[in-house]
Amino acid sequence: MRITTYYTSESLLVEGGTRLKGRVRVSGSKNASLPVLFATILTEERCLVEDVPVLLDVKNTVDLLTFLGAEVSWEGNRVQVDPKDIKRWDTPKDTVRRMRASILSMGPLLSRFGRAVVPMPGGCSIGPRPIDQHLKFFSEAGARVEVRDGKVFLDVERKRPVEFTFDLITVTGTENALLYLTGVEGRSVLRNVAIEPEVMDLIEVLRKMGAEVEVEGRTVLIRGTSAPKGFTHRVIPDRIEAGTLMVATVVTEGEVILDNVNPEHLGAVLEKIEEVGGVVEIRGKDSIRISSNGKRNPLEIITGEYPGFPTDMQAQFTAMLSLAEGRSRVVETIFESRFHHVAELSKMGANIKVKGREALIEGVERIFGAEVHSTDLRASASLVIAGLVAEGTTLVRDIYHLDRGYERLEEKLKKLGARIERLPSKVTLSGS
């Protein structure tokens, strides 16, 4: 009997066992590009955003801006937005389902139009992810906030400055508040803010738009303007893509030069790379050479808000530590359930036990190729990394997640010598 298995999302076929070698340029940052693109809603003037990575989340953002009425031209890594004719303040129903970051439309829409209607995001594969802090901020800023029929309805009669302290540190929560306040005259104060490089990059843009912004530790003083201006901005390099390529290099005992990286954004990651056995050479302000000293030391990693160790690098390190000489411990403090990659890594022979927010990794000598399933963006990257170093062939299924956040990752890996191939959406796996 002939058995045929079809898969509907594309897959990556990775042949393990090659050392990565060569030089690649890291793309512009996804998580910096998205809030900067949403900032264009605030103005009536043209904006140009450069070094925007070509990926699904950017396409979703461009579609959303177009739906609202903006004229957007996207060529290569340049996105030009003419937001003059934005007339709508409601974002379409399925947009938040396709891309959680669509909640970043709340701040700028409310600021420009005095109202916004945005679908309420649910939980996702890495945890419940509430937006209570976003809504609490808008409410304290004087907006009426109502959640009904699965949507958030916001309206504000008179925009006024506000002093607000976040109960917890949130990246997009901080960005939403900053976006809103850029269109609010007078001096506002935000406390306990996120200070991730992506937030700082957005602040750079808001300054170009005419806001006066000062950052002191986790406090931001912001004085908005009644007429935010257009801007030209090149987004920062993607520190998570850089970190992912570094892990891939160290785990394969390769030697790679990464260009378009900002070593200052990678402090906690570089420390752990060196601790595990990587050799880091900073070559000026935007280039790093990574190699390996042949060791595979176990690590203790606790994720935290920037400048702590990024949760977005946890899965990739977990994959690498599967092969360490000894026992590692990884504690995830940011998201509730961000260990779905562990079950998949286990299929490849990794020995990892998860208890709540903690993973104990007993290093093994070898892992083996298997058919594994992507559950979220960074989990997908961890499976590709595992595939690079596994014996045999690994099929990473559902790389739709990977495409949401990495620009041509497999092409970059290929350039570095990896044997990796994208398979079309319908793959027949088993024969007769």
Which positions touch ligand EPU (CB under 6 A)? 31, 34, 101, 127, 129-134, 168, 170-173, 194, 198, 311-312, 334-335, 377-378, 405
HSE, CB side, 13 Å, CA atoms: give it for residue 295.
12
Choose the catalytic residue: 54, 124, 279, 423: 124
Per the CB < 8 A criterion, the answer to whether 171 and 197 are in contact is no
For this structure, is 47 an active site residue?
no
Dist. CA 267–CA 261, nearest whole Å: 12
Q: Which helix (H) or strand (E) holds 212?
A: strand 212-216
| 120 CB-near residues (< 8 Å, 6+ apart) | 96, 131, 147, 150, 151, 152
Nearer Cβ to ligand EPU (131/319): 131
E-strand stretches of 232-314: 232-234, 255-259, 278-282, 287-292, 300-302
Nearer Cβ to ligand EPU (82/312): 312
Q: What are the angstrom distances between the C-alpha of 239 and each of 30, 61, 377?
A: 10, 21, 15
Nearer Cβ to ligand EPU (154/367): 154
Nearer Cβ to ligand EPU (11/170): 170
**H helical segments located in 16-151:** 30-39, 56-68, 95-98, 106-113, 132-140
Nearer Cβ to ligand EPU (340/419): 340
Cβ of residue 283: shortest distance to ligand EPU, in angstroms?
Answer: 26
Q: What is the 3-state secondary structure (H, E, C) of 233-256?
A: EECCECHHHHHHHHHHHHHCCCEE
3-class SS of residue 426:
coil
Nearest to 406 by CA among 257, 248, 240: 240
Q: Which helix (H) or strand (E) holds 423?
A: strand 419-423
Nearer Cβ to ligand EPU (89/166): 166
Annotated active-site positions, please? 124
